[in-house]
Amino acid sequence: MTIARASVLEEMASGIAHEFNQPLGAIVTFSQTAERMLNRADPMIDAAREVLQLIVKEALGASDGIRRVRHLFNQDSPSRTLSSMRDVVQELSAVLELLALRTGGRLVIEIAAPLPDVSIDRLRIQHVLFTLVQNAFEASEPSNQADRPEVRITVTADRYEVEVAVLDSGSGVTAEHRGRIFHPFFTTKSRGTGLGLASTRAIIEAHQGSVGFDNLPGRGARFWFRLPAGESPSPP
């Protein structure tokens, strides 16, 4: 369930691409056909005119597609509850262990006590955590022979904020990528959508939180997000 939820954004990206490639493909092929019709020694003017109408219809259809996609994005009003980050992480830990298993890595979770509660949309925050841990395992190549790549999740807090950090043992973020890493569609993976960190930032900012990363001394990177300690959400 949670995994399915975590890939919703990627599904959406693929859906959007399909939504537009389809009409775009048709428009391009129609246009080129019309051009060929007109370039003939005996130009097929009536046929070309009909093809132009098909192009118009296709283009209008695509703009409906845009409306459909925007509707999809606007639909989701966040449903927040006051939650303990400890529960949120533990609830997801079985899924995260699965990620570890898949990459042959090891997951360590350290949760400091006590933690103030945070007012969050649990599924979205779990999506963020899933994304960060998935990235971390993908970034962590085994450092030497027998070593299983280790990913560490730490949850710490003070009176004002709860911080969740994910530490990997990869090669860190290069200076070249630093500025773009949270940009939509930026990816360094051959099969990445470039939406994982972009959606992470959008979700955390919608929670009035902050998100960032540091390279660790030696090797690896540390991606973190901080959420404000919550009071109960004000009733509507």
Partner 1 sequence: MNEATQRVPTIYIVDDDDSMRQAIALLLRTVGYTPVAFARPTDFLDKYDPDQHACLVLDIRMPQMSGLQVQQQLNRHGAMLPVIFITGHGDIPMAVQAMKDGAFDFLTKPFRDQDLLDRINGALKQDAENRAAIERLADLRRRAESLTPREREVFGLIVDGKANKVIAIDLELSERTVEIHRANVMEKMGARSVAHLVRMHLTLNQQ
Residues in contact with partner 1 by CB under 8 A are 14, 17-18, 21-30, 32-33, 36-37, 44, 47, 51, 54, 57-58, 61, 191, 193
Cβ distance to partner 1 smaller for residue 51 or 99: 51
Between CA 192 and CA 200, with CA 196 as vertex, the angle to 5 degrees is 170
Distance in Å, CB of 101 to partner 1, minimum: 22
DSSP state of 80: -
Between CA 137 and CA 144, with CA 139 as vertex, the angle to 5 degrees is 90
Cβ distance to partner 1 smaller for residue 61 or 78: 61
Distance in Å, CB of 32 to partner 1, minimum: 4
Tokens of 148: 């299983």
Q: What is the rounded CA–CA span in Å between residue 48 and residue 57?
A: 14
Which phi-psi region, left, alpha or beta, contains residue 223 (left: φ > 0; alpha: ψ -120 to 50)? Answer: beta
Distance in Å, CB of 31 to partner 1, minimum: 9
Residue 212 dihedral angles phi and psi, to the nearest 5°: -170, -175
Cβ distance to partner 1 smaller for residue 44 or 115: 44
Cβ distance to partner 1 smaller for residue 35 or 158: 35
Distance in Å, CB of 108 to partner 1, minimum: 32
Residue 222 dihedral angles phi and psi, to the nearest 5°: -130, 110
* DSSP 3-state percent helix, strand, coil across the chain (nearest 5): 50, 20, 30
Distance in Å, CB of 215 to partner 1, minimum: 30
Cβ distance to partner 1 smaller for residue 103 or 193: 193
